[in-house]
Amino acid sequence: MSELPEQPLPSMEEGAEEQEKKCPPEYIMYDPNTGSYICTLTGEVIEEGIVDMGPDWRAYTMEEKIRRQRTGSPLNIAQPDYGLLTSLSSSRDAGGRKLDARHRMEAERLRRLQAKLRTMSSVEKNIEQASKEIARLIEALNIPRSLFEEAMRVYRMAAEKGLVRGRSLESVAAAAVYAACRMRGVPVTLDDIAKHVKGGRKEVARCYRLLVRELKLRMPVADPIRYVSRIVSLLGLSTRVEAEAIKILMQAKKKGLTAGKDPAGLAAAAIYIAALKLGERRTQKEIAAAAGVTEVTVRNRYKELAQKLKIELPPQ
């Protein structure tokens, strides 16, 4: 017999704080039959008449608990109707048994009729198309699948507010993916996303600024340390270079040198310095290409870091 998960106890009201002082919390027990809190040390009833917010049925096994639950599956933000629409099966009945040929034809007819009668607004149709585009981008970028719901949440808010009208669905979906990456701290740049969008970087950046401004999204400051691992991997450098670059960036953060700077550029500069110190040389052009920044950015940032942090570099 499998064990049931513990049900959360009803919370005690603030008026019971005085009683808790007399009886330690670890000795307070909740009696579900009377709906009261009892002190097991003294037998005193601390609070009674508490409303039980749990289910109105009892279950003694996990199978019985699942069978008696009357709730459905959770809402799916990726679906236009949040996944609440009921769909008819054309091959099996409610008990899972296969239908015969006559009933199968009748069920198929009813299923088609239900699809025709279902009314979808223009916003729902747009969200349905956007979910496919966002799924394609996430797969192409090889980023965690968990970002899909976050990107769909951003896009849904934009669609319901009318920000998608008159703009490219592809660009707004790409901007939603980039916003989700920023909020979750995933090191993806606009250039990475623009490679998979026809509109290009400029259009995606414009849509991203629109989403942040109109939806009042709070974007955390990008951490350059998150970009180090990906750039080091692309360049084929050792873990020693990665550790040294992270150490340089942590020193730069303590001195406030990272504020207002492009995180990818800072990560590229730190990797360039670390590679020079450890004898695993890479050209500025190679590092800039891997980081998605210009050679000028790498040059300016590495000179600034070397000067402010007083790092002695070997002759180049």
- CATH number for the domain harbouring residue 302: 1.10.472.10
47 within domain boundaries: yes
User: Looking at the whole model, is its pTM more than 0.75?
Assistant: no
Q: Tell me, what's the pLDDT at 158? A: 93
- In this structure, are 2 and 39 located in the same domain? yes
Owning domain of residue 100:
73-119
Give the Å distances, CA to CA, from 206 to 190, 199, 203, 213: 11, 11, 5, 11
315 within domain boundaries: no
Tally of structural domains, the chain: 4
112 within domain boundaries: yes
90 within domain boundaries: yes
- In this structure, are 67 and 101 located in the same domain? no
220 within domain boundaries: no
Q: Tell me, what's the pLDDT at 138? A: 93
Residue for token pair 């570099």? 313
Give the end of a domain, one of 165, 182, 215. Answer: 215
Q: Tell me, what's the pLDDT at 157? A: 92
Q: Tell me, what's the pLDDT at 16? A: 47
- In this structure, are 132 and 202 located in the same domain? yes
pLDDT in tens, the chain (316 residues): 444 444 444 455 444 455 556 787 778 888 877 778 888 888 888 888 777 667 777 778 877 777 777 666 667 777 766 766 667 766 777 677 788 888 888 888 888 887 776 656 788 888 888 999 999 999 999 888 889 989 999 999 999 899 998 899 999 999 999 999 988 888 888 888 988 998 888 999 999 999 999 999 888 877 888 889 889 998 998 999 999 999 999 998 888 888 878 888 899 999 999 998 888 888 989 999 988 888 999 999 988 998 888 888 777 6
Give the end of a domain, one of 58, 85, 119. Answer: 119
- In this structure, are 112 and 156 located in the same domain? no
Give the end of a domain, one of 88, 119, 150. Answer: 119
- In this structure, are 104 and 141 located in the same domain? no
- In this structure, are 149 and 90 located in the same domain? no
Q: Tell me, what's the pLDDT at 221? A: 78
- In this structure, are 39 and 16 located in the same domain? yes
Q: How far apart are CA 11 and CA 42, in angstroms?
A: 21
Determine the residue type at 13.
Answer: E
Q: Tell me, what's the pLDDT at 18? A: 56
231 within domain boundaries: yes
- In this structure, are 93 and 159 located in the same domain? no
- In this structure, are 65 and 86 located in the same domain? no
- In this structure, are 299 and 231 located in the same domain? yes
79 within domain boundaries: yes
313 within domain boundaries: no
